[in-house]
Amino acid sequence: MNNYKLLTPGPLTTTEAVKREMLIDRCTWDDDYKQVTQTIRQQLVELAQVDETQYTAVLMQGSGSFVVESVLTTTILNDIDKVLIITNGAYGERIVKMAKALQLQHVVYCVPYNEQPSPLEVQNILEKDDSITHVAVVHCETTTGILNPIDDIGAVVQAFNKTYIVDAMSSFGGVPMDLSNGQIDFLISSANKCIQGVPGFGFVIAKIEALQQCEGIAKSVALDLYDQWKVMQVDGKWRFTSPTHVVAAFAKALEELAEEGGVEARSKRYAQNNQLLRERLSHCGLKAYIAEDMQSPIITTFLYPDEAFSFDDFYQDMKQAGFVIYPGKLTELDTFRIGNIGDVHEEDITALCKVIENYMAVKNNEN
């Protein structure tokens, strides 16, 4: 395969140094490897800006969705608890699908894909239904790139003393986030997103007090987050075979995040990528789907310019030029998406925009 720039929300373009870490084979039982795991856990807690005596980080094998499901099955008791799931995209809807599969009591607050959920409506729902014990929401819905107001929603959830679960899969490490206010009980993310590692595991930054109450709840052995935490707490050993190459790559990616200047600096680069992309493409007839004040710096969704537009043709043209983009996941409108994250810089976005501008000019002339 050619070496493309992956302009996707993960997997994404990684640095050569991160890739090189995967050339060495490591043993899961080795003390040096277990120390790598412990260091990663400590660094994640520090990134969340929380006290290590109150919060912990737990790593879990699998994709981000595996980890979301591990939190649901570990924290919510069947027939006793009830979760309010907030949705405005495919990933919130996936949480609903998981709740159904796990036979969890749940209620859904659904808003259009291009709108943010209202904290006031969350308050109304919690006031009317005191059987709700948990609230789950996606921070950055990569379906569209919209950024949801997790702090405002969290203040409501905290006021009602509910357990707050935040899917920050595509935002943690790339959007400044402070968990020290105690609103979030379980924050979920993945190795192959804004920290710029590769796929293979996800992680949960959990309030220790909330996690301690989860013993024996999980209806899964492999996805039992509580058991994973108890074993990992001892010396960094994973319960089952861990993705050793991926863990090593993630450790290097954390180093590179610090070298770049931390989350603030990375967020600034992503935001500049996003702004440049939106501005340049608007001039050639490609309109962003999400309003600028709700747009995350993670991924940008664009509407098809007209009915004659062929995404497959466009995709292949971009790929030939060295860029791999993403199709849309919207149900009502035709869209495509371009990621702003990974080892992608201003010169990459500028080069992409030139390719797209040329493509659009040719297509306009043909019409």
**What whole-number distance in Å separates Cα of residue 198 and Cα of residue 221?**
25
The pLDDT tens digits of the residues spanning 101-138 come to 999 999 999 999 999 999 999 999 999 999 999 999 99
Determine what percent of the chain is predicted with pLDDT higher than 70.
99
**179 and 293 in a common domain:** no
The pLDDT tens digits of the residues spanning 168-220 come to 999 999 999 989 898 999 999 999 999 999 999 999 999 999 999 999 999 99
**What whole-number distance in Å separates Cα of residue 97 and Cα of residue 123?**
24
Query: Are 152 and 207 in contact, with CB atoms under 8 Å apart?
Result: no
Q: CB within 8 A of 319, min separation 6: which ones?
A: 4
- Least trusted range by pLDDT, from 11-15, 72-76, 212-216, 363-367: 363-367
**What whole-number distance in Å separates Cα of residue 146 and Cα of residue 77?**
31
CATH number, domain of 352, equals: 3.90.1150.10
Residue from 107, 110, 173, 104 nearest 138 by CA: 110
Query: Are 37 and 191 in contact, with CB atoms under 8 Å apart?
Result: no
**239 and 145 in a common domain:** yes
Rounded to 5°, angle at Cα 56 from 51 and 62 = 145
How many domains does the structure of the chain reveal?
2
Q: What does the block give as tokens for 106?
A: 């749940």
**183 and 273 in a common domain:** no
* DSSP β-ladder status, 146-147 and 163-167: unpaired
Question: What's the predicted TM-score (pTM) here?
Answer: 0.96
**194 and 321 in a common domain:** no
E strand residue ranges, 251-334? 299-303, 323-324, 326-327
Determine what percent of the chain is predicted with pLDDT higher than 90.
92
Q: What does the block give as tokens for 55?
A: 């919060």
Backbone angles phi, psi at 254, to 5 degrees: -65, -40
**75 and 45 in a common domain:** yes
